[in-house]
Structure 1
Amino acid sequence: PVPTEPLAAAAHTIGWRTSKWPLKREHLYLVGGDSPLGLRLPLDTLPWVLPEDIEPEFDVDPFAAIGALPDPAAPLTAPASSTDLADQPDPRQVIHTALAIEVRAGRLHVFMPPLKHIADYLALVTVIEQTAAELSLRLWLEGYPPPRDARVKMLSVTPDPGVIEVNIHPASSWNELTSNITTLYEEARQARLGTEKFMLDGRHTGTGGGNHATLGGITAADSPMLRRPDLLRSLITYWQNHPALSYLFSGTFIGPTSQAPRVDEARDDNLYELAIAFQQMEHALPGTEESKRPWLVDRLLRNLLVDLTGNTHRSEFSIDKLYSPDGPTGRLGLVEFRAFEMPPHARMSLVQMLLLRALVARFWRTPYKGKLIPWGTQLHDRWMMPHFIAADMRDVVQDLRSAGYAFEQHWFDPFIEFRFPRYGTVTYEGVELELRQAIEPWNVLGEEVSTGGTARYVDSSVERMQLRVRGLTDSRHVVTCNGRPLPLHPTGVPGEFVAGVRFRAWSPWSGLHPSIGVQAPLTFDLVDTWSDRAIGGCVYHVSHPGGRNYEGFPVNANEAEARRFARFVAHGHTPGPVKIASGDLNPSFPFTLDLRWQPD
Structure 2
Amino acid sequence: MAIKASIYHLTHYKYDNPVQLGPQIIRLKPAAHSRTKVLSHSLKVTPENHFVNLQQDPYGNYLARFVFPDPVTEFKIEVDLVADMTVYNPFDFFTEEIAVKWPFDYPEDLRDDLKIYMTPEPSSPALDAFMATIDTTPGQGTIDMVVGLNARLQHDVGYVIRMEPGVQTPEETLTSARGSCRDSSWLLVQILRRLGFAARFVSGYLIQLAPDLKALDGPSGTEVDFTDLHAWTEVYIPGAGWIGLDPTSGLLTGESHIPLAATPHYKNAAPISGGYIGQANTEFAFDMQVKRVAEHPRITKPFSDDSWDALNALGQKVDADLEAHDVRLTMGGEPTFVSIDDFQSAEWNTDAVGPTKRDLADKLIRRLRERFAPGGFLHYGQGKWYPGESLPRWTFSLYWRKDGKPIWHDPALIAAEHKDTGVSHEQAEALMAGIASELDIETDMIIPAYEDPAEWIIKEGSLPENVDPSNSKLESAEERARIAKVFERGLTKPTGYILPV
**Band the TM-score falls in, shorter-chain normalisation:** under 0.3
- TM-score, normalised to structure 2, is 0.21
More strand per residue: 1 or 2? 2
Q: Which has the higher contact order (CA 8 A, sep 6+)?
A: 2
- TM-score, normalised to structure 1, is 0.18
Q: Which of these two proteins has the greater Rg computed from alpha carbons?
A: 2
